[in-house]
Amino acid sequence: MSELMLALSYQVEKDFLPLPASEEWAEHLPRVQNFRQERLSLDHTLEVCSSCPDQALQDQVIACLRQNASLLDLEAEEQNRANFWRAALKKAAQEEDKTKYNISFLASLLYVPANRLDPFKVDWLEPWFARIFRWAFPGEKHLNFESLEEDRARVMKWSLSFASQIQAVHQAGGLPGGEGGWKAWREALAFGSPFVPFHQTHLNIKPFADLFGRLRGEAYHSLLPVPFEQQKMHILGDFSVRSAQDQRVRIGIMTPAPFMHAHGVPDFIWFLAALDKKIFQPVLIINVDPDVHPKTQEFLKKHQEALLKYAPIVLLPQTSVDKLRSLDLDILYNLSGFPWGQGDRMEHFSLAKIHITSFFTPATTGCTKIDYYLTSPELDPDYENSFTEKPLLTKGLPFVFHYDSYFKGMPQSVQKSHKGIVYGVGPSLVKKLNKPFMDVLLGILQRVPDSIVVFMPDIAPERRPHLVAFVLKTCQQAGISPDRFFFYQHCRRSLIYQMLAVSDVFLDFFPFSGTNNVIDPVYVKTPPVVLMPSQGHSRNRIGGLIMQALGLDDLIAFSPEAYQDLAVRLGQDKAFRASFQKRLGPEVLRRSSLFDGTSFVARIAPLFLQVSGKAQFAKEMTVPCRQEIE
């Protein structure tokens, strides 16, 4: 381990050392080799298979497809097997052997993503195949590190085309399995599509979200509902049936994770406390079953009494759709971060007169019952063409944080005693590492010879062998020692915060920028470098808008080249780096608009009145000052 990393470790945790990339890869090798052997064994089993694979064999294929080791470049023997199966697939098509065609297609997917196979016959794919295809959908497992935008654009086009073909064959009556086959494929398309991370690009994903959102809506509605009497809903506090004379706007603020601080989730605290109760009747809705969710139980134990002073609390799981309708909500403001097809069930049913969401999901949702997406022209310049929802426009950021609950457990800034420069990179490694960003990192290391990069992934090592291999490969191509890149094992949040505090410079990912990833280094007085493109979407521009709100425009770059130059200057010029110290830190954040919840509510509440047809009440609305609530 380098002297710099060793010195750094003593500033963080002596017994919790990060590994240089080559040592990290050595840790992965046994698992990778075991995966390759299991895949080849599965391959040979399929080669002698002469009929539909049984359930056990299908499960083995799915388990293989779900491993991130499948992202690694193919070795020579594996490439030969991939070529063998592609030839077998072509031969089965020529001989019109549908059984062999399905088996060959299945085996090909062990090595090659569907979008890179030859054009295939969707009307030959048996219903059992849909279950496997859900995990073989050409998502992040098969996107090319080398050409981020181009590859994702091709995959999006392919995905839309494939889904349309399946629908067309079904409508023509040619889909194997009839209605049962269509149900299986619809669910595969609807719930497999979340694995396509188009939000990592500058692409407009509205067409994709629109098609697959509609498919998810149909799939949710086709599921057998939980009988009404078995649906769970618990109401804490006073929540009575409203009278005809009560003209207040009843607004449900819904979150599945009230204890999380991501993408502005804590702003529900401000809504409950600051909305004018003469005009609004807020209620906090926690859409998770607390009986099986210990973190929600812990949250309620600590905060229930305080929250009930402002609003009642409703607890219900995703399956209790009908119960939620009984609340007679004018607005359902959903703070859920929808990972497409995993937690968006409620937003495909009409549960309130109006449904609204915002940047809790870093792109348009495709949810069929969300009416409005709260954003701003600064965040989404092309807002008119980017959403399946109607854009509901404010100015600046569409969320706010709550200072005291956000920064519990955060370290203060520390005296940096190491020699050399440490560039810290945030925890969202699996979702956000890409070739353009890596190229900039390598350029920085070439220009700042006494520097290292520390990755702080918030995922377990077994989920990132492809990323470590990618770092090794690109380092070799650039002539940079891979051991200037360090990987922590599965990081605790407290350790990430400490690592941020002893980093000299923080590097925000692009094109998928950060929110918490930008705020946290500011708190510990580590200057972040953020890329903000002139165009793009909220997920590309959010970090830059946060920096502007903090008055840190000089830490924003507008091109990858300028980003690299700024990072290099911060690394090389100690005086320039030190000049930001008085402009960073806890008090800078506390005084900023990012944590001014009452001003935020005063800005957003009139929009709620506007969409509910009660804009005239905005003149009567009052909002308490920030000091009254804090």
Query: CATH code at 444?
Result: 3.40.50.2000
Residue 446 in domain:
yes
Structural domain count of the chain? 2
Q: Do 383 and 417 reside in the same domain of the chain?
A: no
Burial of 506 (0-12, 13-18, 19+ CB in 10 A): buried
Q: Do 355 and 378 reside in the same domain of the chain?
A: yes
Mean pLDDT of all residues in the chain? Answer: 87
Give residue 236's pLDDT: 94
Q: Which residues of the chain have pLDDT under 70?
A: 1-17, 138-146, 193-199, 261-266, 337-343, 408-417, 490-491, 630
Residue 551 in domain:
yes
Range of the domain at 317: 228-399+596-629
Beta bridge partners of residue 313, listed in sequence order: 236, 284
Residue 94 in domain:
no
Helix ranges, 14-97 (H): 21-47, 55-65, 76-94
CB within 8 A of 306, min separation 6: which ones? none
Residue 574 in domain:
yes
Give residue 409's pLDDT: 63
Q: Do 575 and 446 reside in the same domain of the chain?
A: yes
Residue 451 in domain:
yes
Give residue 259's pLDDT: 78
Q: Do 440 and 543 reside in the same domain of the chain?
A: yes
Give residue 462's pLDDT: 83
Give residue 241's pLDDT: 83
Residue 58 in domain:
no
CA distance 199 to 205: 8
Distances (CA, A) of 152 to 37, 141, 332, 463, 498: 30, 12, 33, 21, 35
Give residue 1's pLDDT: 44
Q: Do 522 and 384 reside in the same domain of the chain?
A: no
For residue 16, report the phi and psi dihedrals to the nearest 5 degrees.
-135, 75
Q: Do 326 and 385 reside in the same domain of the chain?
A: yes
CA distance 385 to 484: 43
Give residue 611's pLDDT: 97
CB 371 within 8 A of CB 390: yes
Q: Do 471 and 587 reside in the same domain of the chain?
A: yes
Q: Do 232 and 369 reside in the same domain of the chain?
A: yes
Q: Do 321 and 451 reside in the same domain of the chain?
A: no
- For the beta sheet containing 390-393, the strands, ordered from the edge strand earlier in sequence to the opposite edge, are 234-236, 313-315, 280-286, 249-255, 329-334, 352-357, 372-375, 390-393
Residue 464 in domain:
yes
Q: Do 531 and 492 reside in the same domain of the chain?
A: yes
pTM of the model: 0.92
Residue 459 in domain:
yes
Residue 79 amino acid letter:
Q
Q: Do 564 and 539 reside in the same domain of the chain?
A: yes
Is the C-alpha dihedral spanning 67, 71, 77, 79 positive or negative? positive
Distances (CA, A) of 74 to 11, 174, 226, 428: 40, 36, 45, 26
Q: Do 589 and 600 reside in the same domain of the chain?
A: no
CATH number for the domain including 309?
3.40.50.11380
